[in-house]
Amino acid sequence: MLEKIILKCRYKKELKGTYNWGSLLHGALLEMLPQETGEALHQGNLRPFSQYVVMGTQNELSWHIGLWDEEIAQSLTSVLLHLKSIKIKHKDMNLEVISIEQSKESLPDFFARFFTTLEVCRRYEISFLTPCTHKRNGKYVVFPEVDLIIKSLLQRYGGFIREFSLDDSEMTEQLVLNLDIVRYSLRSAVYYLEGVKITGFMGKITIQIRGPEQLARLAGALLSFGEYAGLGAKTALGMGGVSVKPVFDDRNRQNSRKL
């Protein structure tokens, strides 16, 4: 089961809200959970949830949480869906929860969106809503790369989902070879995390998919999984929040028929 929860919150006017509050909300979330759940999450290298903050207007923000592991999802939703306020101890402040949205999608329904449609989409626009980065050779990169995007998504997917396996080295190679970044509008962005400054990027990219139709359908599903899992490093701490949209236009339809 794939799940999204969005909490709309209000904060005091004198505070200066920022997407960096994602790291504070991560700490607040762990404090709300049962001790055994929090300890289990601390022990794993990968966490089966992503979360990030998008600032709104009039001292409001939206806290987005993506879930794709049913056991952890039950623990988190049992807490999140009943919140009236959120205490941020580090900043000695409270966020008032003014609305909560929840959406669920089974894995069969999710994949059906890509594999049962008549028309295959070969272009996707990815918007980076909070700073994103990947690690290569121990260093953070400041520009998106297809192979890092694909490997990030496969790692998160394969770490927790077994019913629909995507663990295939040849498939991974074909995805990397047949996806290209064909358009971008990006800027560098800094995320402050526990006294460390991480430089990444925000903005938009458009990815074009070549190759067989089934590969394009699989690539579309994998890229769209990023809306739940986030992209890149530190996605449980507020980085790498993304929205993914299919782009259908005349050029896309012509390329779909040619490739």
CATH code for the domain in which residue 64 is found: 3.30.70.1890
Confidence at residue 45, expressed as pLDDT on a 0 to 100 scale: 64
Residue 86 has pLDDT above 80, yes or no: yes
Confidence at residue 251, expressed as pLDDT on a 0 to 100 scale: 54
The answer to whether residues 216 and 168 belong to one domain is: yes
The answer to whether residues 113 and 88 belong to one domain is: no
The answer to whether residues 119 and 99 belong to one domain is: no
Report the alpha-carbon distance of residue 126 to residue 241 in Å, rounded: 10
196: left (phi over 0), alpha (psi -120 to 50) or beta: beta
The answer to whether residues 205 and 97 belong to one domain is: no
Instruction: Find the mean pLDDT for residues 143-152.
Output: 95
**Which of 74, 105, 136 delimits the end of a domain?**
105
Nearest-5° Cα angle at 51, 82 to 20: 110
The answer to whether residues 228 and 132 belong to one domain is: yes
**Which of 85, 105, 125 delimits the end of a domain?**
105
More confident residue, 166 or 81: 81
Residue 206 has pLDDT above 60, yes or no: yes
The answer to whether residues 28 and 68 belong to one domain is: yes
Across 58-79, b (16+ Cβ under 10 Å) vs e yields ebbbbbbbbbbbeebbebbbee
State how many domains the chain has. Answer: 2
- Write down the mean pLDDT value for the chain: 89
**Which of 41, 72, 105 delimits the end of a domain?**
105
Count CA within 13 A, CB hemisphere, residue 49.
Answer: 28
How many percent of the chain have pLDDT more than 90? 68
Radius of gyration over every alpha carbon of the chain, rounded to an integer in angstroms? 19
- Are 228 and 47 in contact, with CB atoms under 8 Å apart? no
The answer to whether residues 94 and 171 belong to one domain is: no
Confidence at residue 219, expressed as pLDDT on a 0 to 100 scale: 95
Report the alpha-carbon distance of residue 24 to residue 191 in Å, rounded: 12
Instruction: Band the pLDDT of 256: cuts 50, 70, 90.
Output: very low
The answer to whether residues 98 and 7 belong to one domain is: yes
Range(s) of the domain holding residue 29: 2-105
The answer to whether residues 180 and 83 belong to one domain is: no
The answer to whether residues 113 and 194 belong to one domain is: yes
Q: Which of 42, 43, 62 shows the shortest CA–CA distance to 52?
A: 62
pTM of the model: 0.91
The answer to whether residues 53 and 88 belong to one domain is: yes
Confidence at residue 75, expressed as pLDDT on a 0 to 100 scale: 87
Which range, of 21-30, 45-54, 99-108, 222-231, averages the lowest pLDDT? 45-54
- Output the domain CATH number for residue 113: 3.30.70.1900
The answer to whether residues 130 and 144 belong to one domain is: yes
- Are 27 and 21 in contact, with CB atoms under 8 Å apart? no
Instruction: Band the pLDDT of 171: cuts 50, 70, 90.
Output: confident
